[in-house]
Chain A
């Protein structure tokens, strides 16, 4: 029997850098109210959004991915040539081919990396970080750039007030690299899964290529099924809810965020645990929402280097994933 040699493994992975990118164009609730039958108070009350960023027609998803990715590489203190793998979590590319990852890598100046897209919708960033961590740990990759990038504005019916008020554009990124020893591991095990029986609860309608969601069914699912996933991620990392400094769930709807945080506090999470509310000014940016929130919260000092951060993504598929990470 031929014996195959395996790549040398790493003790684990950690986050080395973060970056994000949003379009300049701010769209307020009042702006939307001029186009559709809605108002500022209703939107704030139902979803917690005050304003969102919507890309101009000529701005591509890969433009935002490139900016966020380049910033994360710089933040990690690495040269683009030191990245060997690029994962773009996205569900809103204009066409399925070509993928976003290879061209984004080329634009950043990363030479010939393994590059692929990953579609787990709003859970995509956590899936990507989990995959990156295991690629690093298993020795297939050294430094992985994971980007969540979405241009949801291309896939909305702007006359549908149930979706037009929620979704937005943006990109966020993290560089995942090897931890030199077990004490410095900064990405915990992935708690993940799916509920394919509810696939139709969030889908693109073939007739108008616009996103549709059964709001009430998704709200019920998210407010009941996601806290257990978060608790599982904490348990897999060998921690308790009281160890979590910062909770960054997918920014789907502020009321879902609050409901899940409340359930975690009922299980021992601290009252002073910082809870991401980036949706207020970023809207729901699907796979980009978690890294966008993390990068913004680090910039304004709400998350500090060394903080224990719980991530949990959930959405179309339905798909969900969470892990505990240490902020770089």
Chain B
């Protein structure tokens, strides 16, 4: 089981790979849409990779609820 810091660091690597955003930019308070400019299709790619990496399920309706990096990290921590 990864703790929140490990999840954030692993999650940031996924965001960097999918959207080309430096891992240092991927911090908990950042909004995917407003701050990181990540569109809905990239969010799906990020979710698919996060599912593989952390062994969680992130269905599309749940994905829509994850507005910030912190939301995603908390969701993964609760559901892994």
The number of residues on chain A lying at the interface, defined by a beta carbon within 8 Å of a beta carbon of chain B, is 11
Tell me if B60 and A45 are in contact (CB < 8 A).
no
**What number of B residues sit within 8 Å (CB to CB) of A?**
9
Which B residues between 37 and 53 are near A, CB-CB below 8 angstroms? Answer: 39-41, 44-45, 47-48
**SS of B interface (majority):** helix
The residues of B that contact A45 with a CB separation of less than 8 Å are 39
Q: Are B39 and A220 in contact (CB under 8 A)?
A: no
Flag if B40 contacts A224 (CB, 8 Å).
no
Docked complex: A31-55 residues within 8 A CB-CB of B: 45-46
Q: Which residues of B contact A216 (CB under 8 A)?
A: 40-41, 44, 60, 63
Contact of B60 among A46, A217, A224, A259 (CB under 8 A): A217
Cross-chain contact A255 with B60 (CB below 8 angstroms):
no
Say yes or no: A220 contacts B40, CB within 8 Å.
no
Distance of B54 from chain A, by nearest CB (Å): 16
Chain B nearest Cβ from A126, distance in angstroms? 24
Contact status A255-B48, CB under 8 Å? no
| Residue in contact with B39 in the complex, picked from A46, A223, A259, CB distance below 8 Å | A46
Residues in B with CB closer than 8 Å to A219 are: 41, 44
The interface residues of chain A lying within 8 Å CB-to-CB of B48 are 220, 223-224
**Which B residues are CB-close (under 8 A) to A220?**
44, 47-48, 60
Interface core residue of B39, B40, B44, B47 (most chain A CB under 10 Å): B44
Q: Which 8 A-B pairs have the closest CB atoms?
A: A220-B44, A216-B60, A219-B44, A219-B41, A224-B48, A255-B41, A216-B44, A217-B60
**Can you report 14 residue pairs joining A to B where beta carbons are below 8 Å apart?**
A45-B39, A46-B39, A46-B41, A215-B40, A215-B41, A216-B44, A217-B60, A219-B44, A220-B44, A220-B47, A220-B48, A220-B60, A223-B45, A255-B41
